[in-house]
Every structure is written in structure tokens, then in C-alpha cells.
Amino acid sequence: MEKRVDWRQAPGPFAALLGPPLGWFLLFFAAPLAVVLAYSFGTNVGVADIAISGTFANYARALEPVYLAIFLKSFAIAGAATFVCLLLGFPVALAIAFAQPRVRTLLLVLVMLPFWTNLLIRTYALMTVLRDEGLVNGALGALGLPPLPLLYTNGAVILGLVYVHLPFTVLPIYASLDRLDRSLIEASLDLGASHLATVFRVVLPLARPGILAGLLLTFIPALGSYLTPDLMGGPDSQMIANVIERQFKRANDWPFGAALAFLLMYLTFLALAAQGLFRGRRAEP
């Protein structure tokens, strides 16, 4: 049996291994984040000057109805995109998990292939499909049907988020399905259950950790998405990340933008805590 070594028995090598990544984290992540957090409690005193006064006025302003409505809309759009990703991603992950080894490798490459292309290029490619003179409306015109307003709508934003984040749903579910005990599935089928009943009563409960991880990995980046709603959404399709961008760039109101950004981060932490609490309760006997 392999013996574990306590880090206190060799603090020098442990510090040498931990030091560089910890220094990188503190210098390039924690420190800038602390500066933005301080800005959220400040006020503008000039064009480029911010006074850290400890005020909560920015957070109070962020809770005004107009911004709460944008938060709720962002949650709704991200939730809808996550739900669609689950409906599409679970069958794909199931097919990959039960495919032959060679086919499985090919399918995994196809799932990860979008990561090899820049997000901006993929978004513009989807826009060429959905625009008024795009492929979809061109096909409808060839059939004698009127064109549809597909781009610059909430539906276009949801479709774009699904297009971008679907692999984040598929891969964790596949990883969970790949570790399933296949004998349980065989036992369910031998006892007379249909394939559909086996999926719902055996596969889904056993794959729940991967499903929850996939939902979280999809929902959080979709909630903070900026590029997709900015390019594919209309005036009524803007999400909270677009509002934050306008505060930092156009309005030059960095304290308010920082408050909005940290409210979004707090909500993300709440989602992570809820998932951890849910998994902890299910792990209790």
C-alpha cells in the first residue's frame, strides 16, 4: 500500500511547489479582484478619480427595480439556455457513453471541436445562419415561405448560449455516465423494465452528480455572458454583463459597475453553495 507523506514532514518542497501558483493567483486574480471590490464601495470624484468612502449607495442603486428586472431577465435567459442544454446534452452524453471505443473517441472530439475555434468567429458564423438573408431564411424563401425575424431576439440569445455552452453540459454528464456500473442497467432490463424506464429510474439517479455539475458549469458562464447577447440580442435582450460593460466603458461609473459585478459574483457563490448543500444532504445516510 502506498504511504502518504504529510506536507509538514517536507515543508520546503511543498512550499516550492505551492509558491508559484499561489503567487500567480494572488498577483493576477486576488489583488485585482480586491481593487474592484474596493471600487464598489467608492464614489466618482473626477473623470478618472475614485474615492473609497465605504458607501453602500452603489449596492442600493443596483437593487433598484430597473436593475433587478435585468438580473431577473438574465436569470431567465441563462436558465432557459441551461434547460435546453440539458435536453440536448443528456442524450448526446448517453450515446457517447454507450458507443464503441473508436466511435466514442470520435464523438468526444466532435463535442470538443468548438473549443478549437474562437468564440467570436463561432458567434458570427451563427449570425450568418440566422440573419434575414441567412441560410434559414434563404431555405424558407426557396420553399415559398416568408422570412422569420430570428436574429436580435431573446430566442437568438438563448440559441447562441446553447450553441456556445452545450459542451460544458455534455462532458460532465458523460464523465458520470462512463463510470456507471453497467450490471445495474442489465439487471433492470432483465427484471422487465423498458429501456425508457431504465433510463429514468436507474441511469438518471446514478448520473445525478454529473448532471448537477453540467448544469452549474453551463448556468454560471451563461449568466455572465456578454458577447452573445451583445451581438445576437436586441435592445430588450441585454443581460447584466452588458450593463456592467456599459458602466465601465460608456458611463465611466466604475463604482456602480463594480457593485453590479460583485452582486453577480455573490449570486454565483450562492449557486455553488446551494449545489454543495444539496450534494451534502444527499450524501447523508
In a domain, 92, yes or no: yes
Residue carrying C-alpha cell 458562464: 221
Q: What is the mean pLDDT of residues 62-89?
A: 93
pTM of the model: 0.86
Do 161 and 123 form a contact (C-beta atoms < 8 A)? no
Q: Each residue of 82-115: pLDDT tens digit?
A: 999 999 999 999 999 988 888 999 999 999 888 8
**What pLDDT score does 235 carry?**
82
**Which parts of 74-131 are beta strand (E)?**
none
In a domain, 152, yes or no: yes
Residues 99, 171 within the same domain: yes
In a domain, 28, yes or no: no
**What pLDDT score does 199 carry?**
85
Domain at 217, CATH number:
1.10.3720.10
- Please give the residue that has the higher pLDDT: either 69 or 182: 69
Residues 163, 265 within the same domain: no
Is it the case that residue 2 has pLDDT exceeding 60?
A: no
Residues 113, 202 within the same domain: yes
Q: How confident is the model at residue 19 (pLDDT cuts 50, 70, 90)?
A: confident
Residues 173, 220 within the same domain: yes
Q: Each residue of 248-263: pLDDT tens digit?
A: 888 889 999 999 999 9
Residues 161, 264 within the same domain: no
How far apart (Å, rounded) are the C-alpha atoms in residues 221 and 77? 12
Residues 126, 258 within the same domain: no
Q: What percent of the chain has pLDDT over 90?
A: 44
Last residue within a domain, chosen from 197, 213, 233? 233
Residues 273, 137 within the same domain: no
Query: Among 47-56, 121-130, 155-164, 172-181, whose mean pLDDT is lowest?
Result: 47-56
Q: Each residue of 31-60: pLDDT tens digit?
A: 999 999 999 999 988 767 888 888 899 999
Q: How many domains does the chain have?
A: 2
Domain extent, residue 196, equals 85-233
Do 261 and 244 form a contact (C-beta atoms < 8 A)? yes
Residues 138, 164 within the same domain: yes
Residues 211, 253 within the same domain: no
